[in-house]
Structure 1
């Protein structure tokens, strides 16, 4: 995520949730399966997420607008990433305060603030399933994302990236799941999409990826909609996903894919995360 434009090779597997049950079900594990790590976000309102598990990345200019000419400046303020006191994490994009003068890559100062949280160096998944139950903000110029990056130490895109879900700009009912690697990245990312029955901001959904040896399956609410194997990659089929990968949560504003915000863009625009759960094998 956040280096993507609309993937040109997205396979057209869109459909209503009720019509996507024919693919392999990623919930093949026993019903009694327990996560090896989870974040439930219990705590007082405005408390920051636990630093034991979460890093907060900040800035904009040095990262070339986070690779996408984005307009938000990521902060470590509770106003941009904090608990709501009711068991949720809120990642909030909001207009920057007047006179804040936050340096921006695409213009002199960033006009929005937001947050980008990662588990890099703290929690990772080798093989198994990631589930994130969340409501995602929708509206012009917004790009909320739940995604993963590889821990192999390589420079992106050789690092490997799995976008568990993205909802872009004016497509409030479309969920994109995409993989990026050394020879398939940005507009050449490979993935699929699914149409929700209502805007992603209206209700919680469980967005998940089942990451198994030489197979990755994307699902929403337990309904698979796309599976990637090495055979679907372009030559030389450079599969980079047999490694530990960490999680990222963020809400981007503006940039190459969603375009700029306008007067209709919600403010604040909130990603509300109910829980994160890792099943299988990894590190925590």
Structure 2
């Protein structure tokens, strides 16, 4: 989901392994709604490959358990900006003036990625757009312990002050408050659908570099139930590569499911409802702690199955999130 990946696609020879496939409905939702303080996950007990592989036919006798303890948790009983865990924009370098996060010409640089063809701008109640007064726009709604990131069409009266975007929406990142090397990172959510709808939960290096990137969850809004899990890395020659799979989960829009990634020293393992569905050998450039990002973009130039918003796109889109958690591996 990184807002730099499309630059790499333009000139690099990319390793892509994508394959649509079903995830059985037997991947039932966990009954508990809260994230446990301690947990264990099963992974394959063999050497991971350089290319990602699907884990559709795992032999139960070949699995080993990894035990973990919780290091981060937000179950969204309160507004996400009240906890100090999240910021509502992309982070900048040390030279980025703090004031420019909140308004004025150029402030949109940290609140969307035009290169990706996105047609929303990420807002929060303090954001001023081109102006000098907070617009009071809040894309984050909390109801009964569920956070909804809301994307809404921008009325004509606000188009100019919001840089002529089509939608306002929201992004939350933990850069500056939480980053971790290794461990398990999980979201429990429903995936919204519709033309131009692009929900995501992903991770970037805390040092500001790209890649590496772990896309734990991306939804293809025009393809109900189609979600993507992808790893991105750079090889020594400088070429950016990525490898991942599509998974079909028919009720992803109507039922909460757990989506996660386990980062070990030797492999990355992707999970749906805490069952391993894909893995890959950890690339060499995965050396820094990573922080989490959750967002609802509208419009995509390069990411298939999303498309640009049009008259058929919903006026309001809701990305429902029950919780986001992180765990560290006990033996680390």
TM superposition score category, shorter chain reference: 0.7 to 0.9
TM-score normalised by L of structure 1: 0.80
Output the aligned Cα RMSD. 2.9
Give 2:243's match in structure 1, choosing from 183, 186, 190. 190
Cα deviation code 1:211-267 (max 9, x no counterpart):
11131011111222210115xxxxxxx522232100000011112122211233223
Identify which of 267, 292, 295 aligns with 1:247: 292
Residue 97 of structure 1: CA displacement? 2.4
For structure 2, list consecutive stretches of 5 or more residues without a partner in the other structure. 28-54, 90-100, 102-106, 126-135
1:122-201 correspondence to structure 2 within 5 Å: 122-154=177-209, 156-157=210-211, 160-183=212-235, 185=240, 188-198=241-251, 200-201=252-253
Cα 1:109–1:132 shift into 2, 3 Å: same
Q: Aligned-pair distance for 1:103?
A: 6.5
Deviations 1:6-64 (A, max 9, x none): 9871332622234865449999334xx54111001113xxx453351101116545677
Q: Aligned in 2, Cα 1:246/1:117: closer, same or farther, shift over 3 Å?
A: same
Residue 29 (structure 1) aligns with: 66
**Which residue is 1:204 aligned to?**
256
The farther-off stretch of 81-90 and 240-249 is 81-90
1:204 Cα deviation after fit? 0.6
Taking the aligned partners of 2:326 and 2:178, their CA distance within structure 1 comes to 9
Aligned residues: 261
Unpaired segments of 5 or more residues in structure 1?
231-237
The residue that corresponds to 1:220 in the other structure is: 272
**Which protein shows a greater Rg?**
2
- Contact 2:66/2:329 (CA < 8 Å) preserved in 1? no
Partner residue of 1:68 out of 111, 116, 121: 116
Q: Of 157, 164, 176, which aligns to 1:109?
A: 164
Greater CA drift, 244-253 or 265-274: 265-274
Alignment of 1:38-53 (within 5 A): 38-43=73-78, 47-53=79-85
Distance 1:62 1:121, change over 3 A: closer
Q: 1:8 to 1:50 in 2, by over 3 A?
A: farther
Q: Do residues 92 (structure 1) and 135 (structure 2) align?
A: no
- Stretches (4+) displaced over 6 A: 5-8, 24-27
Structure 2-normalised TM-score?
0.70
Deviations 1:42-95 (Å, cap 9, x if unpaired)? 13xxx4533511011165456773530211011013854324231111111110
Q: Distance in 1 between matches of 2:144 and 2:111?
A: 34
Tell me the residue number matched to 1:15.
22
